[in-house]
Protein backbone atom coordinates (compact mmCIF):
# COMPACT_ATOMS: atom_id res chain seq x y z
CA UNK A 1 0.00 0.00 0.00
CA UNK A 2 2.94 2.32 0.58
CA UNK A 3 3.80 4.54 3.49
CA UNK A 4 1.43 7.32 2.47
CA UNK A 5 -1.73 5.24 2.84
CA UNK A 6 -4.29 6.46 5.35
CA UNK A 7 -7.51 4.93 6.56
CA UNK A 8 -10.35 7.35 7.32
CA UNK A 9 -13.35 5.83 9.09
CA UNK A 10 -16.56 7.73 9.73
CA UNK A 11 -18.64 6.23 12.52
CA UNK A 12 -22.40 5.93 12.38
CA UNK A 13 -25.25 3.47 12.36
CA UNK A 14 -26.48 1.93 9.11
CA UNK A 15 -29.91 2.53 7.61
CA UNK A 16 -32.19 5.42 6.72
CA UNK A 17 -33.64 5.46 10.25
CA UNK A 18 -30.32 6.74 11.62
CA UNK A 19 -29.00 8.74 8.66
CA UNK A 20 -29.84 12.21 9.99
CA UNK A 21 -29.17 11.53 13.68
CA UNK A 22 -26.45 13.11 15.79
CA UNK A 23 -24.68 9.77 16.23
CA UNK A 24 -24.02 9.70 12.48
CA UNK A 25 -21.97 12.88 12.10
CA UNK A 26 -18.93 10.71 11.35
CA UNK A 27 -20.78 9.47 8.27
CA UNK A 28 -21.69 13.06 7.37
CA UNK A 29 -18.03 14.09 7.43
CA UNK A 30 -16.77 11.18 5.34
CA UNK A 31 -19.64 11.61 2.87
CA UNK A 32 -18.69 15.28 2.49
CA UNK A 33 -15.06 14.32 1.77
CA UNK A 34 -16.10 11.64 -0.75
CA UNK A 35 -18.39 14.14 -2.47
CA UNK A 36 -15.53 16.67 -2.71
CA UNK A 37 -13.40 13.96 -4.31
CA UNK A 38 -16.26 12.91 -6.62
CA UNK A 39 -15.97 9.31 -5.49
CA UNK A 40 -18.68 6.84 -4.54
CA UNK A 41 -18.81 4.24 -1.81
CA UNK A 42 -19.25 0.61 -2.80
CA UNK A 43 -20.41 -2.21 -0.52
CA UNK A 44 -17.44 -4.27 0.70
CA UNK A 45 -18.57 -7.28 2.74
CA UNK A 46 -15.01 -8.23 3.70
CA UNK A 47 -14.66 -4.83 5.44
CA UNK A 48 -18.17 -4.89 6.96
CA UNK A 49 -18.89 -1.56 5.36
CA UNK A 50 -19.07 0.75 2.39
CA UNK A 51 -15.63 1.45 0.98
CA UNK A 52 -14.03 4.01 -1.31
CA UNK A 53 -10.49 4.82 -2.31
CA UNK A 54 -8.99 8.06 -3.60
CA UNK A 55 -5.56 9.34 -4.47
CA UNK A 56 -5.33 12.74 -2.88
CA UNK A 57 -2.19 14.87 -3.26
CA UNK A 58 -0.08 11.72 -3.54
CA UNK A 59 -1.73 9.96 -0.62
CA UNK A 60 -3.65 6.70 -0.91
CA UNK A 61 -6.75 7.45 1.14
CA UNK A 62 -9.07 4.60 2.08
CA UNK A 63 -12.54 5.60 3.22
CA UNK A 64 -14.83 3.37 5.24
CA UNK A 65 -18.35 3.65 6.58
CA UNK A 66 -19.06 0.53 8.65
CA UNK A 67 -22.45 -0.98 7.82
CA UNK A 68 -22.57 -2.85 11.12
CA UNK A 69 -23.90 -1.13 14.22
CA UNK A 70 -21.78 1.40 16.06
CA UNK A 71 -20.87 -0.90 18.95
CA UNK A 72 -19.23 -3.33 16.47
CA UNK A 73 -17.24 -0.66 14.55
CA UNK A 74 -13.92 -2.20 15.56
CA UNK A 75 -14.66 -5.29 13.49
CA UNK A 76 -14.75 -3.20 10.31
CA UNK A 77 -11.69 -1.11 11.25
CA UNK A 78 -9.61 -4.19 12.12
CA UNK A 79 -10.61 -5.99 8.91
CA UNK A 80 -9.45 -3.09 6.75
CA UNK A 81 -6.24 -2.43 8.70
CA UNK A 82 -5.31 -6.11 8.46
CA UNK A 83 -6.19 -6.42 4.78
CA UNK A 84 -4.00 -3.48 3.78
CA UNK A 85 -1.43 -4.10 6.54
CA UNK A 86 -1.76 -0.56 7.82
CA UNK A 87 -0.62 0.66 11.20
CA UNK A 88 -3.21 2.28 13.51
CA UNK A 89 -0.89 5.31 13.36
CA UNK A 90 -2.38 5.85 9.88
CA UNK A 91 -5.95 5.65 11.14
CA UNK A 92 -8.31 8.61 11.56
CA UNK A 93 -11.65 7.90 13.23
CA UNK A 94 -14.30 10.60 12.75
CA UNK A 95 -17.04 10.49 15.39
CA UNK A 96 -19.66 12.43 17.32
CA UNK A 97 -18.69 13.77 20.75
CA UNK A 98 -21.15 14.60 23.53
CA UNK A 99 -18.53 16.54 25.48
CA UNK A 100 -18.08 19.18 22.78
CA UNK A 101 -20.72 21.76 21.82
CA UNK A 102 -22.24 21.67 18.33
CA UNK A 103 -19.92 23.52 15.96
CA UNK A 104 -16.78 22.36 17.71
CA UNK A 105 -14.23 20.04 16.11
CA UNK A 106 -11.10 18.74 17.83
CA UNK A 107 -8.28 16.47 16.76
CA UNK A 108 -6.92 14.12 19.37
CA UNK A 109 -4.38 11.31 19.30
CA UNK A 110 -4.91 8.55 21.81
CA UNK A 111 -7.11 8.65 24.89
CA UNK A 112 -10.06 6.67 26.14
CA UNK A 113 -13.47 6.08 24.61
CA UNK A 114 -15.38 8.64 26.72
CA UNK A 115 -18.40 6.35 26.79
CA UNK A 116 -18.58 6.21 22.99
CA UNK A 117 -19.48 2.63 22.05
CA UNK A 118 -17.85 2.80 18.62
CA UNK A 119 -14.54 3.97 20.08
CA UNK A 120 -14.82 1.42 22.89
CA UNK A 121 -15.11 -1.43 20.38
CA UNK A 122 -12.25 -0.10 18.21
CA UNK A 123 -9.95 0.20 21.24
CA UNK A 124 -10.91 -3.29 22.44
CA UNK A 125 -10.34 -4.94 19.07
CA UNK A 126 -7.11 -3.11 18.22
CA UNK A 127 -5.74 -3.55 21.73
CA UNK A 128 -4.46 0.02 21.59
CA UNK A 129 -5.78 3.55 21.75
CA UNK A 130 -3.06 5.61 20.07
CA UNK A 131 -4.98 6.35 16.88
CA UNK A 132 -6.10 9.77 15.69
CA UNK A 133 -9.65 10.96 16.23
CA UNK A 134 -11.59 13.86 14.78
CA UNK A 135 -14.22 14.68 17.40
CA UNK A 136 -17.28 16.51 16.10
CA UNK A 137 -19.28 18.16 18.86
CA UNK A 138 -22.97 17.40 19.14
CA UNK A 139 -23.59 18.80 22.65
CA UNK A 140 -25.04 16.97 25.64
CA UNK A 141 -28.69 16.56 26.67
CA UNK A 142 -27.82 17.46 30.28
CA UNK A 143 -28.44 14.11 31.93
CA UNK A 144 -26.92 10.69 31.33
CA UNK A 145 -30.41 9.14 31.17
CA UNK A 146 -31.22 11.20 28.08
CA UNK A 147 -28.07 10.38 26.09
CA UNK A 148 -29.36 7.44 23.99
CA UNK A 149 -32.49 9.28 22.90
CA UNK A 150 -30.45 12.43 22.23
CA UNK A 151 -27.78 10.85 20.01
CA UNK A 152 -30.36 8.84 18.06
CA UNK A 153 -32.38 11.91 17.13
CA UNK A 154 -31.86 14.76 14.69
CA UNK A 155 -30.15 17.96 15.79
CA UNK A 156 -32.06 21.22 15.78
CA UNK A 157 -31.69 23.42 12.68
CA UNK A 158 -29.21 25.68 14.53
CA UNK A 159 -27.18 22.72 15.78
CA UNK A 160 -27.22 21.18 12.29
CA UNK A 161 -25.77 24.38 10.85
CA UNK A 162 -23.08 24.46 13.56
CA UNK A 163 -22.18 20.80 12.98
CA UNK A 164 -21.90 21.40 9.23
CA UNK A 165 -19.48 24.28 9.92
CA UNK A 166 -17.39 21.95 12.11
CA UNK A 167 -17.40 19.31 9.35
CA UNK A 168 -16.11 21.92 6.87
CA UNK A 169 -13.38 22.99 9.32
CA UNK A 170 -12.34 19.37 9.80
CA UNK A 171 -12.06 18.89 6.06
CA UNK A 172 -9.89 22.01 5.74
CA UNK A 173 -7.14 20.59 7.96
CA UNK A 174 -7.04 17.18 6.29
CA UNK A 175 -3.99 18.08 4.12
CA UNK A 176 -1.93 18.63 7.28
CA UNK A 177 -3.25 15.42 8.85
CA UNK A 178 -2.29 13.34 5.83
CA UNK A 179 1.12 15.01 5.72
CA UNK A 180 1.65 13.89 9.35
CA UNK A 181 1.71 17.51 10.53
CA UNK A 182 -0.82 16.82 13.27
CA UNK A 183 0.37 19.70 15.47
CA UNK A 184 -0.24 22.20 12.67
CA UNK A 185 -3.65 20.65 11.93
CA UNK A 186 -4.62 20.84 15.61
CA UNK A 187 -3.48 24.46 15.89
CA UNK A 188 -5.42 25.50 12.79
CA UNK A 189 -8.55 23.59 13.74
CA UNK A 190 -8.61 24.50 17.42
CA UNK A 191 -7.97 28.20 16.81
CA UNK A 192 -10.74 28.65 14.22
CA UNK A 193 -13.63 27.07 16.12
Ranges of each domain in the chain: 6-192
Q: Is 117 annotated as a binding residue?
A: yes
Among candidate residues 11, 7, 9, 34, the one with its CA nearest the CA of residue 138: 11
Q: Please report which confidence band the pLDDT of residue 171 belongs to, taking 50, 70 and 90 as the band edges.
A: very high
Residue 1 has pLDDT above 70, yes or no: no
Cα–Cα distance for residue pair 116/167, rounded to 1 Å? 19
What is the pLDDT at residue 74?
96
| Cα four-point dihedral sign 159, 140, 16, 9 | positive
Q: Is 59 a catalytic residue?
A: no
Q: What is the pTM of this model?
A: 0.95
Q: Of the listed 23, 59, 95, 116, which one is catalytic? A: 23
Residue 3 has pLDDT above 60, yes or no: no
- CATH class assigned to 6-192: alpha beta
Q: Is 55 annotated as a binding residue?
A: no
Considering only residues 2 and 136, tell me which one the structure prediction assigns the higher pLDDT.
Answer: 136
Amino acid sequence: MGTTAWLLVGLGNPGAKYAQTRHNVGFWWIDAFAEEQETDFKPAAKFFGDFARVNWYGHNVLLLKPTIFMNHSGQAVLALLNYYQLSPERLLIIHDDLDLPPGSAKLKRSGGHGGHNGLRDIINRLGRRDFLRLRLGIGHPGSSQGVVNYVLNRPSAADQQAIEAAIAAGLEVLPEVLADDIEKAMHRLHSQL
